[in-house]
Amino acid sequence: GVLHVSATFDSDSNKVVIAYMDNGNLGYGTAVVGTVSGTAISFGTAVLFESGETIYISAIFDSNSNKVVIAYADDDNSGYGTAIVGTVSGTSISFGTAVVYESAEVTYASATFDSNLNKVVIAYRDNGNSDYGTAVVGTVSGTSISFGTAVVFESASTRNTSATFDSNLNKVVIA
């Protein structure tokens, strides 16, 4: 079976990308490209983005760079907060090198794309800092992503974080 499923729409290639933890393959982080036709969807071949147990997956589309960004916790690396950039081509997706955004265990990560400033924002629970609600800003360049300094948004234990972007007021909202 699959767990930690997250889907996003690539408006450049008009494809859906679904990222998930593949329990049938050691819990590895996996992504697949879907093509919608009428009321049906067909899929390309699944591609690994992390050869290790991958949890708290959140996939988003960066419409500035036309890249998919997948944020996740890398359980084979102490649960560190990690992100990777994917490029859709046809019915497949290829990935750059994974980048750690939080060198501590991360849970309940949720990513969104700020289309005003062309930035990725990842909100998460920082288990390495009293489980505080924390957010970090990422910038996609080519097939990689770089991060600024993480900021605490809730100095208390947080769970089930969800981030979205309000394109009317150009604000990130974290629930």
How confident is the model at residue 7, as a pLDDT? 98
Q: Which of 54, 103, 57 is nearest to 80 (CA)?
A: 103
Could you say which residues of the chain have pLDDT below 70?
none
- pLDDT score recorded for residue 34: 98
Q: Which value, to the nearest 10 degrees, does the dihedral of the CA atoms of residues 160, 7, 98, 88 take?
A: -170
> How far out from the chain centre does Cα 83 lie?
6
Determine the pLDDT at residue 75. 96
User: So what's the pLDDT on residue 41?
Assistant: 98
Over residues 12-63, the pLDDT tens digits come to: 999 999 999 999 999 999 999 999 999 999 999 999 999 999 999 999 999 9
The β-bridge partners of 151 are 135
Q: What is the reported pLDDT for 21?
A: 98
State residue 152's pLDDT score.
98
Burial class (CB in 10 A: 0-12, 13-18, 19+), 147: middle
Q: Is the pTM of this model over 0.85?
A: yes
In this predicted structure, what is the pLDDT of residue 15?
98
pLDDT at 107: 98
